[in-house]
Structure 1
């Protein structure tokens, strides 16, 4: 999913996703007897309970079905509750190790949690699940978790925007100038799967993707603005840009 060209929204995306590829989450995954990348999948989706691979694929559709099936097969012994516990712990630990506890972090955490408290998110299942998850007490952990959860809101709106313009996810990735085959490869798609996706491309996919991006941008800002109002939305943007990060890993 490509972020729009807005510095604070890029900061939000980075805050909410950095732990997902960190050494912290990879180590936790391996300690639980799973492949290093499995906790990202199992913990993130585990907030919905013990779901089928079909449901897991549906809510993480930027990955190939083969990747999701393999992860579920190789992590079958880990319950959803345990996966969520480990995932949230990794998120909070990353925040504590990489985010400063300054006024900007405190304000950003407060405003993001306000969004989670008040936003109406149906039918965005992952975002709804993380909206209701228990929260930490300390600011760095709160900020990391809140940024992750609000990022899930944007992810849900992304899929909704694609559906609005009738563009399947794999075709959207091919049309996205910031994604394409290289990005798909990094997400686990193999050459055969990418070639198969290309056979479904349509001449108007680029225009549909741009329409979806505009719809996504408007919907996300609209949702935030409805909850926070213009002044607090501006406060959120300024706070996110002033958050101190050390990014130790």
Structure 2
């Protein structure tokens, strides 16, 4: 596989895993599970659960790590969320929710054991420098059953890609609002807590494309450190197949 092919495999894997984990994170069942676990505001459960692996950090620190969210809102949701179960308790709750979602909606997909096997090779071989969310999530114990384990592995790799992307975005000089507007428009930008009016970032479109391409290139380098060309291609294909099964099984 040539380098462009490895980049394509990294992009395909990242897109499929990113969407699969987003289905879990944004689904009403996940929010309901957070409420049932004691989080009156499910968004506080989301922020505390997702960032809980950072430990008993300040809201400002969490906002700095989750760089594309509006920082004041992030800090407030973090403070509200960690008051319920603490940081690591929130992470454990979210981890268990991830596993259960995989059990419910990934069962029946082909190659789940292989997704976990290949993904774990990448996780084990990847240095943690500059990737705080990945560094935290990679220490969490994985479930034994294939559907749960596969979605958990996808989540860890999604956080790795997010860390890489956030780093490149930050040094690019593109503001989070501009990035959101270029990527998904106004409604998408609102999801991250930013208030209007929104700068559209139109003058940074080419720079944003470079950030996206740089993310794929770096992830290709990471995959190359753990997988051969056939394995990288296999992971991309299996991840795409698993996403299709997940979307078909999850109620709208």
Q: Is the 8 A contact 2:52 2:87 kept in 1?
A: yes
TM-score scaled to structure 2, two decimals?
0.86
Farther-moved stretch of structure 1 (217-226 vs 82-91): 217-226
The answer to whether structure 1 residue 247 and structure 2 residue 250 are counterparts is yes
SS at match of 1:228: coil
Corresponding residue number in structure 1 for 2:223? 224
Query: CA 1:158 to 1:108, structure 2 compared with 1: closer, same or farther past 3 Å?
Result: same
Q: How many residue pairs get matched?
A: 238
Corresponding residue number in structure 1 for 2:6? none
RMSD: 2.3
The answer to whether structure 1 residue 141 and structure 2 residue 148 are counterparts is yes
Query: CA 1:66 to 1:111, structure 2 compared with 1: closer, same or farther past 3 Å?
Result: same
Task: Quote the offset at 1:186 in angstroms.
Answer: 2.3
Query: CA 1:229 to 1:164, structure 2 compared with 1: closer, same or farther past 3 Å?
Result: farther
Deviations 1:11-68 (A, max 9, x none): 2112222211123321222123321222211011110101111011111122212321
Distance 1:20 1:203 in 2: 29
Q: Which one of 48, 70, 80 corresponds to residue 74 of structure 1?
A: 80
The answer to whether structure 1 residue 87 and structure 2 residue 103 are counterparts is no
Task: Quote the offset at 1:157 in angstroms.
Answer: 0.8
Farther-moved stretch of structure 1 (138-147 vs 212-221): 212-221
Distance 2:120 2:234 in 1: 14
Q: Is the 8 A contact 1:91 1:145 kept in 2?
A: yes
SS at match of 1:227: coil
Corresponding residue number in structure 1 for 2:3? none
Corresponding residue number in structure 2 for 1:205? 204
Farther-moved stretch of structure 1 (140-149 vs 221-230): 221-230
Farther-moved stretch of structure 1 (18-27 vs 127-136): 18-27
Q: Is the 8 A contact 2:49 2:87 kept in 1?
A: yes
Matches within 5 A, 1:89-238: 89-174=96-181, 176=182, 178-191=183-196, 195=197, 198=199, 204-238=203-237
Structure having the higher helix fraction is 2
Give the gaps of 5 or more residues in structure 1. none
Q: Is the 8 A contact 1:98 1:248 kept in 2?
A: no
Distance 2:203 2:10 in 1: 23
The answer to whether structure 1 residue 63 and structure 2 residue 69 are counterparts is yes
SS at match of 2:54: coil
The answer to whether structure 1 residue 38 and structure 2 residue 44 are counterparts is yes
Distance 2:12 2:201 in 1: 32
Query: CA 1:41 to 1:202, structure 2 compared with 1: closer, same or farther past 3 Å?
Result: closer
